[in-house]
Structure 1
Amino acid sequence: MIDTQRIFNIKNDSEFESLALEVFRFQFENNPVYRSYCDLLYKHPSAITSLKDIPFLPIQFFKSHEVLSSSLSALKTFTSSGTTGSVTSKHHVVDLNIYEESFSKAFRQFYGDIKDYVILALLPSYLEREGSSLIYMVDALIKASHHPESGFYLNNLSDLSKIIRKLEDKGQKTLLIGVSFALLDLVETHQFQLKHTTIMETGGMKGRRKELIRTELHDILKKGFGVNTIHSEYGMTELLSQAYSKGNGVFECPPWMKILTRDTEDPLSINSEGKTGGINVIDLANINSCAFIATQDLGKVYPSGTFEIIGRFDHSDIRGCNLMAL
């Protein structure tokens, strides 16, 4: 078993690659679904010598299989949102301490001490269902902030507006994290000029509004909240880590997470930096499930390691689906 403290104490790219290869070998031996996938591709640990050699498991497997690298029972199963009757992803988590350490350390890295912030959450579509990993994270951050004003808001936008203005008047550092459609609802009925509040969108209209391109969404939100930048969080049910953007849609990962891209026509390839492709995520916090995931997002990675999300695959564009029949 790999000591998780090594994951959260990675100092450089060399340490990351070395540990990623170790995690690959561990999951090859202990994750039956991932092992079967690697076997189908004739990818054996003896042939894997760099990050670019590691096979990335298509994210759809979390909908059809139990993806686990542990014999322990799940303490919590996070599920993705989905339309009525659709199959949702399931991420079985055997150690919640790893998730809590991941999001706590990442928050501190990007934003500082949680106790300095009031955390306001406007996440109605997530609150209205069970099993959201985002709700679990935000609830923990709200509790860790130790501010009585921190909390969730469902449809009470007037109360939220009053709280925001009150905190602004006090000069209180505040983080408002919200799903895109709810933030738009807020600025359509209330206008702000915020100096002490960070606005963070988690993406998604969830079928409540027509989808907007990021620049259009952020321009509306910047004007409505009276701020210069809109922050963003990039995470998903199948991960235990998040990347953050402090503006312009450019995301940065914590040291135990890395983004690569693959050629849209070849699911087993790795692109050169700066070329648009399918997003592959290495999340070493996923030690007990799968740390190497091929997502359905499209994006590009820059030489600094930062990345941008450009869109999503159309289902007809997903290649290699014959490998799903495990």
Structure 2
Amino acid sequence: MIDTNAIFNIQSEQKFTELALDVFNYQFKNNTVYRSFCDLLYKHPSDVKTIKDIPFLPIQFFKTHEVLSSQNNIQTTFTSSGTTGSKTSKHLVTNLDIYKNSFTKGFEQFYGSVNNYVILALLPSYLEREGSSLIYMVDAMITQSKHSESGFYLNNLDELKNTLTLLDSQGKKILLIGVSFALLDLIETYQFSLNNTIVMETGGMKGRRKELIREELHSQLKVGFGVESIHSEYGMTELLSQAYSQGNGVFNTPNWMKVLARDTEDALSILPTGKSGGLNVIDLANINSCSFIATQDLGRVYKDDSFEVIGRFDHSDIRGCNLMVL
């Protein structure tokens, strides 16, 4: 069994590699879906000597299979939003404490203690459904912040404007986290000139608005909120960790998470830094599901392990690795 405390205490590249290989061996033995996937690729632990040798499970498996490496009872199931009639991803979570540790320590690594912030959350599309891992995370952060002003906002934009303006003018540190379309709704109604607020978008128009490229979205938000940069959170139902961008759309990962780029023509080949490809994520907090995920995001990874997202693949991405019939 892997010591989860060791995961959150990683301080070096060498330790990350050691634990990633340990987790691969553990999940190969204990996750029947992942084991079948590896077997079909003829990948055995004896073949896996480095991180680049590890097979990455296509993220679509979370829509079609129970991806589990643990025999413990399921404490909750996080689900993706999905469009009407489409299959949603299901992340079966057997240990919520690991998730709490991950999002708390991950946030602290880049922003310091949650206690230092008033958390204002504008996440209507997530609040309007059940099973959102983002809502679970932000709700816990609101509780941890211990500020009475922290809370969720749905359609009460006038109240949010008044609270945000007042607290910012009082010099309080504020984190305004919101889904893109709702942040745009807010600045179309009100103009701000904020000095003590981090504005963090979680991406996505959720069918409410036309999709914008990041530069255009951030440009509008910077003007509307009167801030110099827009922060971003990179997370998804299938991951228990988040990466953060503090501006310019370049994300950094916590110490137990790493992003690699794969060749778009050969899904099993990892690209050198700086090359655009499909994004593979190693999330060691996913110890009880699968820590090695081939996402449908297109991006590039840099030498310092930071990365950016530049688009999305369609289903043709999995060509050369068409094993969804498992």
TM-score, length basis structure 1: 0.99
Name the SS for the 2:295 alignment partner: strand
What does 1:178-257 correspond to in 2, within 5 Å? 178-257=178-257
**Aligned match of 2:305:** 305
Count of residue pairs brought into register by the alignment: 326
CA distance in structure 2 between the partners assigned to 1:54 and 1:4 by the alignment: 20
**Aligned match of 2:72:** 72
Give the AA of the match of 1:166: L
The alignment status of 1:153 with 2:156, answered yes or no, reads no
What does 1:67-216 correspond to in 2, within 5 Å? 67-216=67-216
Q: What per-residue deviation string (whole Å, max 9, x for no partner) do you get for residues 177-201 of structure 1?
A: 0000000000000000000000000
Question: How far 1:321 sits from its partner (Å)?
Answer: 5.5
Question: How far 1:278 sits from its partner (Å)?
Answer: 0.1
Question: How far 1:315 sits from its partner (Å)?
Answer: 2.4
Question: How far 1:60 sits from its partner (Å)?
Answer: 0.2
Give the AA of the match of 1:176: L
Give the AA of the match of 1:112: G
Q: What per-residue deviation string (whole Å, max 9, x for no partner) do you get for residues 194-226 of structure 1?
A: 000000000000000000000000000000000
CA distance in structure 2 between the partners assigned to 1:320 and 1:133 by the alignment: 31
Q: What per-residue deviation string (whole Å, max 9, x for no partner) do you get for residues 18-58 of structure 1?
A: 11000000000000000000000000001100000000000
CA distance in structure 1 between the partners assigned to 2:120 and 2:281 by the alignment: 28
CA distance in structure 2 between the partners assigned to 1:72 and 1:85 by the alignment: 31
- Asked if 1 retains the 8 angstrom alpha-carbon contact of 2:265 and 2:320, the reply is no
Name the SS for the 1:248 alignment partner: coil
CA distance in structure 1 between the partners assigned to 2:323 and 2:70 by the alignment: 23
CA distance in structure 2 between the partners assigned to 1:13 and 1:219 by the alignment: 35
Name the SS for the 1:216 alignment partner: helix
Question: How far 1:169 sits from its partner (Å)?
Answer: 1.7
Name the SS for the 2:286 alignment partner: coil
**Aligned match of 1:7:** 7
CA distance in structure 1 between the partners assigned to 2:78 and 2:35 by the alignment: 23
- Asked if 1 retains the 8 angstrom alpha-carbon contact of 2:245 and 2:251, the reply is yes
CA distance in structure 2 between the partners assigned to 1:255 and 1:63 by the alignment: 28
CA distance in structure 2 between the partners assigned to 1:272 and 1:193 by the alignment: 42
Larger CA deviation: 311-320 vs 66-75: 311-320
Name the SS for the 2:109 alignment partner: helix
**Aligned match of 1:291:** 291
The alignment status of 1:58 with 2:58, answered yes or no, reads yes
CA distance in structure 2 between the partners assigned to 1:258 and 1:61 by the alignment: 20
- Asked if 1 retains the 8 angstrom alpha-carbon contact of 2:298 and 2:311, the reply is yes
What does 1:18-33 correspond to in 2, within 5 Å? 18-33=18-33
Moved over 6 A (4+): none
CA distance in structure 2 between the partners assigned to 1:126 and 1:270 by the alignment: 34
CA distance in structure 1 between the partners assigned to 2:60 and 2:231 by the alignment: 28
Identity %: 72
**Aligned match of 2:281:** 281
CA distance in structure 2 between the partners assigned to 1:288 and 1:325 by the alignment: 23
CA distance in structure 1 between the partners assigned to 2:37 and 2:110 by the alignment: 35
TM-score, length basis structure 2: 0.99
Give the AA of the match of 2:190: H
Structure 2: gaps (5+ residues): none
CA distance in structure 2 between the partners assigned to 1:260 and 1:16 by the alignment: 14
What's the RMSD between the two structures over aligned residues? 0.7
CA distance in structure 2 between the partners assigned to 1:281 and 1:287 by the alignment: 13
CA distance in structure 2 between the partners assigned to 1:24 and 1:196 by the alignment: 43
CA distance in structure 2 between the partners assigned to 1:245 and 1:300 by the alignment: 14
CA distance in structure 2 between the partners assigned to 1:322 and 1:303 by the alignment: 30
